[in-house]
Structure 1
């Protein structure tokens, strides 16, 4: 079984050797950051992270400390969603609270046979998404009748639009629709939701 601490320590102790391997990542045009399971940065090519001062780019430091200057895990951390469950990856687009740019995140867990031992985090600046939002003045166009969303001149359901943005969502009935569809049971269900 892989031991995450040993892997991280081995990489940090032998940084010269691994730096040669990681040089390949430096030629990729977007950010790649390798994290251990405790969110320590094992490697980053620092692309598109120009808001992080050079002096703060510390291998072996917690990602939330380096990227956001926080002393504890980010409140909105998506990595926390894995919780040792096998999920292929998580993708989402997010506006940075630090520099205001939209970024496309892909977080891929690295498993040994049983547990998560680290993560690959890929971050791309979404200039296309930002330009699209600016052109549409930050509005999303909805069909007045069927409520489909227009995205890049293509009409699609909300579900497909959310999937395209990499958002995670679920379905549920609001109280009004619940009463309309299940008038005999709605009050009981609504009361259970409150507890």
Structure 2
């Protein structure tokens, strides 16, 4: 298979709405982590009916967010799925041109942030099960800066590049067999202006 696109830009309303569904976003995130999976495997992970998961996977595929993958087993009845890219990018500037598009972007952004907050709350609830090494390693920081929009954009690009560097390093180590102590890690970075 050819190398996947790094970040698939979402600029049309239909694709944004397809992804901005709570179950579809959860499925998409699970598939990015698993890299390849069947509807039944994903249904087990999120505790939903296989038929419902299959329906939503087809919707994601219709919009080019996921695609069929090479079968991972000899069972020809199983349909395997994979993300169509290494991630997606959804930019405010692509949805400012009409009120309906701006409202859909805001609604999607709220959903994504709510799901991320839920992920973090779950980690906090499960913190005792991760042990001191993971708890000491997990950053929890806040920085209050004085920046221009250009400086904030530059900072965001540098943080994303640094996260991608560590992702590539971890994936390469895992591909080489270094799996000891390796877990999925979510890194959420928000930068926004505020006034007191």
The TM tier, using the shorter chain, reads under 0.3
TM-score (norm 1): 0.22
**Higher helix fraction (1 or 2):** 2
**Higher strand fraction (1 or 2):** 1
Look at both structures and tell me which one has the larger radius of gyration over its CA atoms: 1
